[in-house]
Every structure is written in C-alpha cells, then in structure tokens.
Amino acid sequence: MTDDPGFIPPHGHYQELLSYRKAVVIYDVTVRFVDRFLVRGDRTRDQMVQAARSGKQNILEGSCASGTSKEMELKLTNVAKASLEELLEDYRDYLRVRDLRVWEADSREAQYVRRMGCERDFGYERVREFVETRSGEVVANLTICLVHQATYLLRRQLQRLEEDFVREGGLRERMTKVRRQRRGG
C-alpha cells in the first residue's frame, strides 16, 4: 500500500464554501418571504422557493461530484448561479409590479446589508429580525443584496474552477498520472 492519495482528490466540503453558506441564507429568507408576502396559490411562490433551493443544492451537488468530474462541478456551479439569477429577477419583479423602491447599489441600506453579509459567521439568525418584522420591500431588497453577493462568489468560484482545470486537468489526467507513477515511469 502506498501513501499516495490516488486519483480521486478530497471533495464535497461544500459547507465551507461561502457561496453555499450565502445560498442557505437566501433559501431560508425566500421560504419565509413567500409565506409572508405572496398569496397562497400564486405560482411565483413555488418558483421562487425552487430557484432558491436549486441555487443551494447545485452548489452542494457540484462540490460532491468534483472528485470524479470537474466538468459536472463546473456545470452544476453555473446552474446554481443561474438559479439565483432567476430568483433575483423574481424579487425585482415583486418590487416593480408593486411600484416599490429598489435600493441603489450605493444606498445606505444596501451598504449595510453588504457589510452584514461579509461578517465571519453570517447566517440566517443575523437577518431573522428583518425578515420577520420588516415590509416586503425591505425583505426583497435585502435578499437582492444577498443574491448579488452569492452570484459574485459563484462567478469567482467558476473562474477558480476553470483555472484549476487548466492547471491540473480532470479525472483522466489524474488517473494517467497515478498509473505512470505506480508503474515507475
């Protein structure tokens, strides 16, 4: 037996990804948002929850698949980003059709949410009071800020995955490298 780790690298540590942790908060907020502010029977409720869930779950699934398929990891990470962008548009629609204010990126409120979202142990508990007591306008804008943060992180994650693939290759390259090393050449 050899000490070499083989060709399947460690993978699946999605809980450590900032993009995943942010997506969990977005999902939790969205579930509560639709319960408070959208009418039962409105199809948008299910679509928003599913888009938020898809964002979170595809990060998880991509991370877990990464050991054997960098292509799958890239695809699923991109699906997560696309799902959150779909959710972003649903929140924008909510504000637009109700003639509610959309926070400017440099507004005091948006800057506050950005700072809050960058806190080391940021989680749902940090935004719970806002989600449970503020208006739909505030909660939608807060979530828009969080989605922007998550999609930014996912774009950076995709860039990193691409760089890693170019530098290290995928499963076939790792298998060939290990085979050659074990054969002594």
User: Residue 184: pLDDT band by 50, 70, 90 thresholds?
Assistant: confident
pLDDT at 1: 41
The model's pLDDT over 135-171, given as tens digits with 9 standing for 90+, comes to 999 999 999 999 999 999 999 999 988 887 676 665 5
Q: Report which of 136, 118, 116, 134 is spatially closest to residue 126, judged by C-alpha positions.
A: 116
pTM of the model: 0.84
Q: CA 110, CA 5: separation in Å to the nearest integer?
A: 45
pLDDT at 120: 84
Is pLDDT above 80 for 175?
no
**Residue 26 in contact with residue 76, Cβ under 8 Å?**
no
Q: Are 64 and 12 in contact (CB under 8 A)?
A: yes
Domain boundaries, the chain: 14-183
Query: From CA 43, how far away is CA 172, in angstroms rounded?
Result: 44
Query: pLDDT tens digits for 12-31?
Result: 577 888 999 999 999 999 99
- How does the average pLDDT of the chain come out, rounded? 87
- Answer yes or no: is pLDDT of 63 > 70: yes
Res 102 pLDDT > 70 = yes
Backbone angles phi, psi at 154, to 5 degrees: -70, -35
Looking at residue 98, the DSSP 8-state letter turns out to be T
Average the pLDDT over 170-181 and give the result: 59
Which of 22, 24, 9 lies closest to 154, judged by CA?
22
When pLDDT is averaged across residues 27-53 and rounded to a whole number, the result is: 97
The confidence score (pLDDT) of residue 68 equals: 66
- Tell me which DSSP letter residue 101 carries: P
More confident residue, 63 or 142: 142
Please provide the size of the chain in residues. 185
